[in-house]
Structure 1
Amino acid sequence: MSKGYITLAHGAGGKETEALLRNMIFDKLDEKQKRVEGGVGLDSPDDAAAIPLGDGFVVVTIDSYTVSPLVFPGGDIGSLAASGSINDVLMMGGKPIAMLDAIVVEEGFDMDALQEVTGSMMSVLKKESIPLIGGDLKTMPKGQVDKVLITTAGIGTTKKPIVDSDLRPGDKVIVTGTMGDHGATILAMQQGVDVLRSGLKSDSKPLTKVLLPIFEAFLDKVHAARDPTRGGLAMALNDWAAESDTVIVVEEANIPVKKEVRRYLSMLGIDPLYMANEGAAILGVDPSVADEVLQMLRERGAEDAAIVGEARRPADHSGIVLLKSEIGGFRLLEPPTGSLVPRIC
Structure 2
Amino acid sequence: MGLVRHKRMAAAIALMAIAHAGYARSDAPKENDRSKLLGAREGTELARMALQYRPDDGVKPDCSHLVNQIYREAGLNFRFASSSEIYAGIDPFQRVRHPQPGDLIVWRGHVGVVVNPREHSFYSSLRSGLNTDYYDADYWTRRGTPRFYRYRVSAQAPASPRLLRTAHRPDSADDEQKLERTAAAPREIIVPDRDSSATGSRFLIAEADLPGKPTAEDLRSALLQHIDDAGSALESSQALDANSSVLVVDDVQVEKLKLRKDQGSLEIRLDCSVAVVDGQVTANPLSQKRKLKLQHAEAGWMVEDKDAPLYVPRQIALRVFATQLAMATRQDRDQDIARLLRILNALAPEK
What's the TM-score, normalizing by structure 1? 0.28
Instruction: Give 1 or 2 for the bigger CA radius of gyration.
Output: 2
Query: Which one scores higher on RCO, CA 8 angstroms, separation ≥ 6?
Result: 1
What's the TM-score, normalizing by structure 2? 0.28
